[in-house]
Amino acid sequence: MEPVISYIGVGSNLGDALHNVSAAIAALQHLPHTQLHSHSSVFRSAPIDAIGDDFINTVARVDTTLSAESLLAELQKIELSFGRERPFRNAPRTLDLDLLLYGDVEISTNTLVVPHPRMTVRAFVILPLLELNPDVAIPGYGQASRYVQAISDQVIHVVPKN
């Protein structure tokens, strides 16, 4: 199988969120049959449809020969290793790894929806994604850049590098 370019949203708002995101990026380097290509700047934003502290987010690009379902399972293993709990929808989290895009395919099963269903209305997804690939298209939605205006009211800041 040829590697599939995939994008993963990485976020945290519990504990040392900046450390959690950095450690998650390191963990992505060890995914089987997957190569971490790059990741965007790290951003801070207020929770949307959630509670808790501000989120720290980035988007990673990986090249993988895993199926989308297998990649999701590996991401969920990483989340669990960070103590991820799901007591209720949109609960604060130590780590959230979302499979945003898997090549140019659309997937809709009981366990996985790709493209991620709310990615076009989240600045913390669209802006880092566009930083990685200004020409990226979202299957079924078109160019990601066309959603920038709609998210322009969301406050988001780049976290300075140390």
In the set 44, 61, 63, 84, the catalytic residue is 84
Residue 18 token pair = 């900046």
In the set 61, 96, 104, 153, the catalytic residue is 96
Is 146 catalytic? The answer is: no
In the set 86, 98, 104, 135, the catalytic residue is 98
- Residue 89 has φ and ψ, to the nearest 5°, of -60, 135
Query: Of 106, 100, 95, which is closest to residue 140 (Cα–Cα)?
Result: 106
Is 44 catalytic? The answer is: no
Is 89 catalytic? The answer is: no
Does residue 83 contact residue 94 with C-beta atoms inside 8 Å? yes
In the set 44, 93, 104, 118, the catalytic residue is 93
Residue 22 token pair = 């950095």
Kindly state the helix (H) or strand (E) to which residue 35 belongs, with its residue range. Answer: strand 34-39
Is 63 catalytic? The answer is: no
- Which active-site residues does the annotation give? 84, 93, 96, 98
